[in-house]
Each structure stands twice: as C-alpha cells, then as structure tokens.
C-alpha cells in the first residue's frame, strides 16, 4: 500500500509558519515605529481624554504628542500619538477663552505623512502663540509638526531633524519560489499590483514611487524653510535624513532655545501675555476603564493570516526616523 499523503493544510503549515515568522520580524520595527498594531488591537477610535487644570487665571494649554503619529489609535495602544485626538485638543484650546498660548510637548519619531500633515494644518489655524517643547526625540514627522511654531525649545541632547520621507516594501517572491508556490494577478494596469508581496518591484516601479516620495519630501523642505525662515538651500543641505542633537539643531537654526519644559512653559506664558506663574490646562489621552474594556473585548489581539498579508502589501508613506 502506498504511503498516505498528509492533508494539504499540513503540508503548507511550514510555509505559512515561515511567512508569519518573516512577517512578524519584518513588522516589528514598523509596529514599533509605524503603529500598525494599534489598528489590530483596537475595537474603535479613542475618545479624547479630559483636560486637567492647575492654578487659576489665564492659562497655557499643554498638548502632548507622544509616540508614533497615526491618524487614529486604539485604547490599548498608549505608545501611539492619535492625530484625531490631538487635533481635537488643539481646537478645544484654540476656542477656550482662558487659554492664551499652547505648549506642544513633542516626544515622537514621526509617523504617518497624512497624520503629521493634519496636525500641522490644525496648528496652523490657531491664532494663539504656539511653543514647542521637545523631549528625548522629536524627529521627522515630530519635527514637521513643530516647524511652524512661534518658538521651539529643545534639550541639549534632544534628537531632532531627520527631515525626510521613507517608504518600505516587502517581497516574498524568493520564499514563494522556495516552496513552489506561484501567484496569478489579474489587474487593469501595469501598476495596479505595484508593491505586491508576491513579486519583486521592477526598476520602472521604483522610479515611479521614488518620484512620489520626492514630491512629498520637497513639500517637507519647503515647509521647514518657511516655518523657520531659513534659505531653502540651507534646509535642503540639512535634509539628508540626519538627526541632530539639540545643540546642533540650535546651531543650524532648527530650534530657538536650549532648555526644558519649564523654560518652554515660561516662554508660552510670555508670548501669551501672562504675568507670573501661568495656570496650565493639560490634555491627556490616557484611556479610561471603559475604553480599555472595549479594546480588550472588541477582537482577538492576534492578526489573521489574511490581515498580515494585507498589512504587508499596503504601500505606506511615512515621515519617521527608521532607527529602532
């Protein structure tokens, strides 16, 4: 009697195990820096946290931008900066008659191009003084949202800059060939399956996508030059993706002062015409117990095979520092 073949699912298990292992390894830096895990863990959007007021009289609003900048983030992902929530805080502070100035506390490696631009746009609509206080890291999209502030304060050892755009793709073509797996794609145009997991990118596609990246990069350079009132050529020379310490950033005109959050708060009060110790209204996005329960009960924390493949095949444009 011939030996019975194992079921097809059992034969493909090593292949899928390898794919998922590669996906996990490839996605870890993206999950850490790109925040994709937020979308997989969350049951829904986060309701903005309440503002905490300390003191009396005219106030400085303190708004935090912590972690990777995403268009939205779930209640379980406290490591991401939820652009939707941050924008609501900005609008609330802008319309609050007690708030005379905004202190934007930035601790972020950047993130989504669109989310960073949405925050920048919201800040640009504010008619009150805006002061940025940079923490340990305010790079790429974190610098993008800061560039048009009235005053930027960085610590001597803050890492900032990283002016640039990054887009990454993963190809499983070699792995598929090793397992004898082929994929057939039927599309309406030569670029419709651009970025597909199942094949390597062609030289023509690389040129095409590089042009898109360059276009967004040029806008980034223009924005920094206008916001910092620097010659475009000077910004272009700095915009090779390098990060700069606070000291280097000050020397290159990317920040206005070396100091800490207290110095930034004093500057915001000064620009807002507040004498003495200002009242502070600090916005928080810490999830409440109901949001946490919703996040836990909404779905499994582990993505399915289909979700992993879908995430890997989406071309992402990011303004983020790609270091671990």
What total number of domains does the chain contain?
A: 1
Q: Identify whether 185 is part of a domain.
A: no
**What pLDDT was estimated at residue 75?**
45
* Segments forming the whole domain that contains residue 157: 45-163+242-320
Return d(Cα 147, Cα 28) in angstroms, integer.
29
Q: Identify whether 117 is part of a domain.
A: yes
Mean pLDDT by 10 residues, the chain (324 residues): 53 57 54 43 42 89 96 64 95 97 98 96 98 98 98 98 93 89 88 87 94 97 98 98 98 98 98 95 71 49 54 67 65
**What pLDDT was estimated at residue 185?**
86
Q: Which of 53, 190, 192, 304 is catalytic?
A: 192
**What pLDDT was estimated at residue 182?**
87
Q: Where are the alpha helices (DSSP H) in the chain?
A: 8-34, 36-41, 83-95, 113-124, 141-144, 173-178, 203-228, 232-238, 246-251, 261-271, 289-298, 305-312
Q: Identify whether 302 is part of a domain.
A: yes
Q: Which of 108, 112, 116, 140 is catalytic?
A: 140
Q: Identify whether 171 is part of a domain.
A: no
Return d(Cα 301, Cα 75) in angstroms, integer.
13
Residue 182 is a catalytic residue: no
- The CATH number of the domain where 287 resides is what? 3.90.226.10
**What pLDDT was estimated at residue 79?**
74
**What pLDDT was estimated at residue 285?**
72
**What pLDDT was estimated at residue 103?**
99
Helices 305-312, 8-34: crossing angle, 10 deg rounding: 50
Q: Identify whether 196 is part of a domain.
A: no
* Global confidence as pTM: 0.78
Instruction: Give the Cβ contact number of residue 266 at 10 Å.
Output: 18
Q: Identify whether 206 is part of a domain.
A: no
Q: Identify whether 97 is part of a domain.
A: yes
Q: Identify whether 32 is part of a domain.
A: no
Largest CA distance in the chain: 94
Residue 140 is a catalytic residue: yes
**What pLDDT was estimated at residue 314?**
56
Return d(Cα 322, Cα 166) in angstroms, integer.
8
């Amino acid at each position: 009697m011939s030996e019975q073949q194992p079921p097809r699912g059992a034969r493909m298990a090593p292949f899928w195990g390898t794919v998922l292992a590669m996906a996990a390894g490839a996605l870890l830096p993206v999950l850490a820096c790109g925040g994709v895990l937020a979308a997989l863990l969350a049951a829904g959007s986060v309701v903005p946290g309440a503002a905490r007021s300390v003191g009396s009289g005219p106030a400085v609003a303190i708004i935090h931008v912590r972690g990777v900048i995403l268009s939205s983030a779930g209640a379980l992902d406290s490591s991401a900066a939820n652009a939707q929530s941050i924008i609501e805080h900005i609008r609330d502070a802008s319309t609050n008659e007690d708030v005379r100035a905004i202190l934007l506390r930035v601790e972020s490696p950047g993130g989504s191009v669109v989310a960073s631009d949405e925050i920048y746009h919201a800040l640009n609509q504010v008619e009150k003084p805006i002061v940025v206080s940079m923490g340990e890291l305010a790079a790429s999209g974190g610098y993008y949202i800061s560039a048009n502030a009235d005053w930027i304060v960085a610590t001597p050892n803050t890492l900032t800059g990283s002016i640039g755009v990054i887009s990454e793709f993963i190809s499983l073509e070699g792995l598929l060939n090793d397992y004898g797996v082929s994929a057939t794609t039927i599309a309406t145009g030569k670029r419709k399956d651009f970025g597909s997991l199942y094949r390597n990118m062609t030289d023509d596609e690389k040129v095409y996508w590089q042009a898109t990246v360059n276009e967004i990069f040029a806008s980034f350079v223009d924005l920094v030059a206008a916001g910092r009132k620097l010659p475009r050529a000077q910004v272009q020379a700095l915009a090779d993706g390098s990060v700069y310490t606070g000291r280097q950033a000050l020397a290159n005109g990317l920040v206005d002062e070396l100091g800490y959050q207290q110095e930034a708060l004093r500057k915001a009060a000064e620009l807002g015409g507040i004498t003495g110790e200002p009242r502070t209204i600090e916005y928080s996005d810490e999830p409440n117990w109901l949001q946490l329960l919703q996040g836990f009960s909404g779905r499994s924390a582990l993505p399915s095979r289909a979700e992993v493949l879908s995430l890997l095949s989406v071309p992402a444009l990011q303004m983020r520092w790609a270091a671990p």
